[in-house]
C-alpha cells in the first residue's frame, strides 16, 4: 500500500510532531533510534522532506530536524507524495493507460469508492491530527 520509504518518513514526521518545535530540535540519531529505522536511511528521507519544506531543519550544534506549525498542518499525503509520487495512487488498478469512468477497466467501478475514500483520508488528515491521537493515547507508534 505504501512503500517502506513512505512508512519511515511518516513515522519520523509524526515523531517529530510530538517532540519538536521551533525551540526543540532533534538529531537524526535520536529520531532513528526512537522509531527504529536505519539512521542513514531516515537521514536521506528527512533531508529530502526538508528541502521540500515539509519539515524544517537547522545545521550545526544545537541543530536538528523539527516541525513548525505550518509543517504540522500539512496533510499526510504531502509526505507520501513527496517520497513516492502520486501516480500509483491514481492510476488504473490494471495499469490501463486510458481507464476512466467512460471507458473503465473491469475492476474500475468496483474499487473506485474505496480507493477515493483512502485517498481522502491521506489528503484530509493532517500530521497534527495523527499526533493528537497519539497524545490522547487513542493511538500508538509501537
Partner DNA sequence: TCCGAAATATGATATAAATCATATTATGTA
Partner DNA sequence: TACATAATATGATTTATATCATATTTCGGA
Q: Which of 38, 110, 123, 126 binds a second copy (CB under 8 A)?
A: 110
Is residue 23 a contact point for a second copy (CB under 8 A)? no
Q: Which of 34, 57, 105, 115 binds DNA (CB under 7 A)?
A: 57
Kindly give, in sequence order, each residue whose CB lies less than 8 Å from that of residue 52, ignoring residues fewer than 6 positions away.
Answer: 82
Of 19 and 93, nearer to a second copy (C-beta) is: 93
Q: Compute the C-alpha angle 69/60/35, nearest 5°.
A: 60
Of 26 and 76, nearer to a second copy (C-beta) is: 76
- How many residues does the structure list for the chain? 142
Q: Which of 35, 64, 72, 130 binds DNA (CB under 7 A)?
A: 64
Segment near DNA (CB under 7 A), from 61-69, 97-105, 106-114, 116-124?
Answer: 61-69
Q: How far apart are CA 66 and CA 51, in angstroms?
A: 13
Query: Contact positions toward a second copy, by CB under 8 A?
Result: 1-2, 4, 7-8, 10-11, 14, 76, 88-89, 93-96, 98-99, 103-111, 113-115, 117-118, 121, 125, 130-131, 133-134, 138-142
Amino acid at each position: 500500500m505504501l512503500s517502506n520509504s513512505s512508512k519511515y518518513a511518516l513515522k519520523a514526521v509524526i515523531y517529530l510532531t510530538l517532540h519538536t518545535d521551533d525551540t526543540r530540535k532533534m538529531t537524526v540519531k535520536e529520531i532513528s533510534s526512537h522509531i527504529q529505522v536505519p539512521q542513514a536511511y531516515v537521514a536521506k528521507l528527512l533531508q529530502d522532506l526538508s528541502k521540500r519544506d515539509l519539515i524544517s531543519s537547522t545545521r550545526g550544534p544545537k541543530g536538528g530536524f523539527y516541525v513548525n506549525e505550518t509543517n504540522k498542518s500539512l496533510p499526510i499525503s504531502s509526505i507520501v507524495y513527496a517520497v513516492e509520487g502520486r501516480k500509483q495512487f491514481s492510476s488504473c488498478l490494471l495499469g490501463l493507460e486510458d481507464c476512466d469512468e467512460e471507458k473503465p477497466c473491469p475492476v474500475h467501478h468496483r474499487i473506485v469508492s474505496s480507493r477515493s475514500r483512502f485517498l481522502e483520508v491521506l489528503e484530509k488528515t493532517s500530521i497534527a491530527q495523527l499526533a493528537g491521537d497519539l497524545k490522547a493515547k487513542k493511538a500508538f507508534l509501537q
